[in-house]
Amino acid sequence: MPIALGIACENCGRLHLLNKAGAHPNIYAKVSSLGADMFGLNCNVCKMARSFHKSDLKPYTVSADAQVVGHADRGEYVLVNNSIRPASWVKTKS
Ligand SMILES: [Zn+2]
């Protein structure tokens, strides 16, 4: 099972996965008074928007199909040990 870095929507449980270039169509770098490394997520399922810090991105075990399409739903992903996160997956470009 592949491991991908992602952020889960707290409202509907949809997990949004970054691709290996650190990109996702629903995730964008944010200019924020909270400081650098803030990102925004627009959930395409429930339409909720949220902000999160780079450190909120976690590695999840997902199916190969989920990694290809860039998302997984509740019950289709498992959080894995945070220490294996490859930092290079997260783009800090704004
Ligand atoms: Zn959602």
Q: pLDDT tens digit string along 37-60?
A: 899 999 999 999 999 998 999 999
pLDDT at position 31, please?
A: 73
Residue at 22 is within a domain: yes
Residue at 92 is within a domain: no
Q: State the total domains in the chain.
A: 1
Is the model's pLDDT at 85 over the cut of 60?
A: no
Place of tokens 């998302």: 71
How far apart are alpha carbons 80 and 66 in whole angstroms? 16
Instruction: Say how many Å lie between the CA of residue 70 and the centre of ligand 1.
Output: 14
Range of the domain at 14: 3-84
How far lies 55's CA from each of 6, 14, 64, 91, 92, in Å? 11, 18, 24, 12, 12
Residue at 91 is within a domain: no
Torsion of CA 28, 34, 37, 43, to 10 degrees: -30
Instruction: Say how many Å lie between the CA of residue 81 and the centre of ligand 1.
Output: 24
Residue at 93 is within a domain: no
Residue at 66 is within a domain: yes
Instruction: Say how many Å lie between the CA of residue 16 and the centre of ligand 1.
Output: 9
Instruction: Say how many Å lie between the CA of residue 47 and the centre of ligand 1.
Output: 6
**pLDDT above 90 coverage of the chain, percent:** 60
pLDDT band with cut points at 50, 70 and 90 for residue 93: very low
Residue at 89 is within a domain: no
Instruction: Say how many Å lie between the CA of residue 14 and the centre of ligand 1.
Output: 6
> Residue 27: which of 1, 5, 3, 2 has the closest Cα?
5
Place of tokens 């450190």: 55
Residue at 35 is within a domain: yes
Q: Give the least confident one: 4-13, 23-32, 61-70, 71-80.
A: 23-32
